[in-house]
Amino acid sequence: MTTTVKLYNEDPYLKECTSTVTGIVDHGVTLDRSVFYCQGGGQPGDTGVLVLPNGSTKKIVNTISQRETGAHLHVLDEEEALPEVGAEVTARIDWERRYGFMRMHSCMHMLCAVIDAPVTGGSVSEGRARLDFDLPEPIDKEAVTDALNKLIQQDQPRHFRWITDEELQSQPELVRTMSVSPPMGHGEVRLVEFEQIDLQPCGGTHVSRSGEIGEVRVSKIEKKGKQNRRVIVEFA
Ligand SMILES: [Zn+2]
């Protein structure tokens, strides 16, 4: 199984690329390189299309890591005929959907900076996202909304930086999520930094400046169990 070069790790703004089909697994296609984000770290897999040499398009309904092999699988609609191995295709993501995930995922990093408590879970979905905190005391919805929008308005630049697994292990304070472990095991981990706001290892896709997130609001804070609070954020 050849590995897929994940182009979005360096440039999350790439909307399409040309790729070669390297394999067919179940109802999925593997490519030599891809702009499709693979579901993980609380962020959904990308959807979009593959454009074949004859101009026909195949719909991609999800992008997942195959459990047995770890292959980066572009999952086709059940109905779709599979392209041939070796075919040159254009892989194009549903950009509007992905850009929403980028804005929301970056917003969750702002939320980490606002609420000083360990994160126990979280996920990003269309138009909203949530993080769960290990936090016994109640927090004020309006205060969190205000603090979030202040950080967003600062319009701080985002940087990616790669460090080795060993370097990360020697700085455990960088890891904010207890439930979602950082993407280790490849030798290197990517750090996502929003200048003066937040720094943490993360494999997700992020906007290049915090201002791109736009105005948001905390729609709900739920108490989950004895000391967990779930904070749900939506675009305002
Ligand atoms: Zn993240």
Residues 63 and 123 in one domain: no
Determine the distance separating the centroid of ligand 1 and the alpha carbon of 104, expressed in angstroms: 10
Q: Is the pTM of this model over 0.85?
A: yes
* Whether residue 199 sits in one domain with residue 109: yes
Give the separation between CA 174 and CA 183, rounded to whole angstroms. Answer: 13
pLDDT of residue 70: 83
Query: Looking at the structure, do residues 81 and 119 belong to the same domain, yes or no?
Result: no
Q: How far is the CA of 78 from the centre of ligand 1 (A)?
A: 31
Residues 89 and 186 in one domain: no
Query: For the chain, how long is the longest CA-to-CA vector?
Result: 60
Higher pLDDT residue, 174 or 3?
Answer: 3
The residue among 19 and 166 whose pLDDT is bigger is 19
**Cα 79 to ligand 1 centre (Å):** 34
Residues 78 and 122 in one domain: no
State the pLDDT confidence band at 226, using cuts at 50, 70 and 90: confident
The answer to whether residues 137 and 59 belong to one domain is: no
Q: Across-strand partners of 21? A: 31
* 191 CA → ligand 1 middle, Å: 9
User: What is the CATH number for 50?
Assistant: 2.40.30.130
What length is written for the chain? 236
Domain that holds residue 125: 98-235
Report the alpha-carbon distance of residue 44 to residue 141 in Å, rounded. 26
Shared domain for 151 and 124, answered yes or no, is: yes
> Are residues 196 and 157 part of one domain?
yes
Per-residue pLDDT tens over the stretch 15-72: 999 999 999 988 899 999 999 999 998 999 999 999 998 999 999 999 999 888 888 9
Regarding whether 110 and 86 lie in a shared domain, the answer is no
Residue at which a domain ends, from 57, 72, 93: 93
| pLDDT tens track for 63-114 | 999 888 888 999 999 888 888 999 999 999 999 999 999 999 999 999 999 9
- 119 and 202 in a single domain? The answer is yes
In total, how many domains does the chain have? 2
Looking at the fold, whether 102 and 140 belong to one and the same domain comes out as yes
Strands of the chain, DSSP E: 5-6, 16-25, 28-31, 33-34, 48-51, 57-65, 72-76, 88-93, 119-125, 128-134, 158-164, 188-194, 198-201, 216-224, 228-235
Cα-to-centroid distance, 120 and ligand 1 (Å): 13
